[in-house]
Structure 1
Amino acid sequence: MQTVLAPIPVILAAYLLGSVPFAMISSKLFGLADPRTYGSGNPGATNVLRSGNKKAALFTLLGDALKGWVAVFAAQQAGLSNALIGLVALAVFFGHLFPVFLKFKGGKGVATAAGVLLALDPILGLMVLGTWLLVAYISRYSSLAALIAAATAPLYSALMHGTDGQFAVVGIIALALIIKHWQNLQRLMAGQESRIGSKKKG
């Protein structure tokens, strides 16, 4: 049975959930410096890891992924239409990229995208996550893993379900991830990109 909910409040709630900055929360909980002041300056799990505190990085990773999963799962359980579930998925993801609580300067969205995909389609999410883990393990570059995982996500979706509404949502998320990692790609090509676990500078 379809539940009728006004789209704007639902989308706004998803955006606000996506805006919750777990990198900032974990840094305060573990007594770390603001992650925007060191390393890449990105409020995300990979940069928090550069502080040397693995627990804080894990907390950030799980928090960012969980908010993406919770938003989509809640929309599914509420019986919303597929179109509105897709909008919720995009809202929570872009909430992380452009959070109102951090003056619209957020993280790069990898963990939140993973949470969103795992809720939309667990098999698709696991395939994308597996791609990220494999590339990250081999290369030790989080950004390269993110770029390849993002590029393959729409391909996996198309192979599994064709070019349906889910393909459009996955494609938009993938494109946004690639754009957010564009500077990382330039550093990779110049041999200047930091590897996973490298310590913060400054």
Structure 2
Amino acid sequence: MPMSEVLVWALAAIFGYLLGSVPFGIVITRALGLGDLRTIGSGNIGATNVLRTGHKGAALATLLLDSGKGAIAVLIARYFGGEVAGIVAGTAAFVGHLFPVWLGFRGGKGVATFLGTLLALHLPLGLAACAAWALTAAVSRISSLSALAAAGLSPVIALMMARPGIALACLGMAVLIAVRHRTNIARLRAGTEPRIGRKG
């Protein structure tokens, strides 16, 4: 393996991680005077918790920016470094969202960044993952279950689409999403996980 390729992948990983580490939920809520997001609701930095401030516009902006940072990382890295660099950068952006250096490595659950990354890596796969989320949400009305379904199915779908490199990245991200949702999984097992549109 040429050292030049290793360097490109390393730079893609650093770029993706730093971009993914930007906590847009906190930035937006502070800019709007909504307080410190980490002291609101679940304390999570994602769009779902931003919605608990009652500001739908802030939640939508957070959703778009959190998904967008994964997509942008992929597109820029792939343009300059090729397909593998795009996969590395997108995965690193996802990791950055979960473990942001700016917040002491305490980040969000990564679902929006995950979906944005997949949409940029391979549009049909990303759309399939979004469809899995939407279908599960429509049937169960449980956001966490929808996220787990989309993440769990993504490596299988990627393999079916003959994208083994992306499938491997999906598998790693799916495992991290499951770890981040461990308290949700416990509530799902206990039958106490709140449904979409209802207070927990």
Distance in structure 1 (CA, Å) of the matches to 2:14 and 2:197 = 35
Q: 1:28 to 1:97 in 2, by over 3 A?
A: same
Distance in structure 2 (CA, Å) of the matches to 1:74 and 1:66 = 12
Distance in structure 2 (CA, Å) of the matches to 1:127 and 1:159 = 12
Structure 1 partner of 2:128: 127
Structure 2 partner of 1:97: 98
Q: CA shift at 1:24, angstroms?
A: 0.3
With 93-102 and 31-40 compared, the bigger mean Cα shift is at: 31-40
**Post-superposition CA distance 1:93-148 (Å, at most 9, x none):** 10000000111000000000011000110000001011111222332221111011
Is residue 155 from structure 1 mapped to residue 147 from structure 2 by the alignment? no
Structure 2 partner of 1:189: 189
CA contact (8 A) 2:78 2:85 kept: no
Runs of 4+ residues over 6 Å off in structure 1: none
CA contact (8 A) 2:9 2:84 kept: no
- Between the two proteins, the alignment pairs up a number of residues equal to 196
Structure 2: tracts of 5 or more residues without a match:
none
Q: CA shift at 1:17, angstroms?
A: 0.2
**Post-superposition CA distance 1:143-174 (Å, at most 9, x none):** 11101111111111111116x21211111111
CA contact (8 A) 1:110 1:177 kept: yes
Query: What pairs with 1:38-187 in structure 2 (closer than 5 Å)?
Result: 38-78=40-80, 80-161=81-162, 164-187=164-187
Distance in structure 1 (CA, Å) of the matches to 2:36 and 2:134 = 27
Q: CA shift at 1:198, angstroms?
A: 4.2
Aligned AA (1:106): G
Distance in structure 1 (CA, Å) of the matches to 2:13 and 2:97 = 13
Distance in structure 1 (CA, Å) of the matches to 2:25 and 2:198 = 17
CA contact (8 A) 1:35 1:43 kept: yes
Q: CA shift at 1:21, angstroms?
A: 0.3
Distance in structure 1 (CA, Å) of the matches to 2:128 and 2:67 = 16
Q: Which has the higher contact order (CA 8 A, sep 6+)?
A: 1
Distance in structure 2 (CA, Å) of the matches to 1:98 and 1:117 = 19
Q: 1:153 to 1:7 in 2, by over 3 A?
A: closer
CA contact (8 A) 1:153 1:170 kept: yes
CA contact (8 A) 2:25 2:50 kept: yes
> Identity over aligned residues, as a percent?
46
Q: 1:160 to 1:95 in 2, by over 3 A?
A: same
TM-score, normalised relative to structure 1: 0.89
Give the secondary-structure state (helix, strand or coil) at the position aligned to 2:175. Answer: helix
Q: CA shift at 1:35, angstroms?
A: 2.1
Aligned AA (2:133): W
Distance in structure 2 (CA, Å) of the matches to 1:137 and 1:26 = 29
Q: 1:32 to 1:137 in 2, by over 3 A?
A: farther
TM-score, normalised relative to structure 2: 0.90
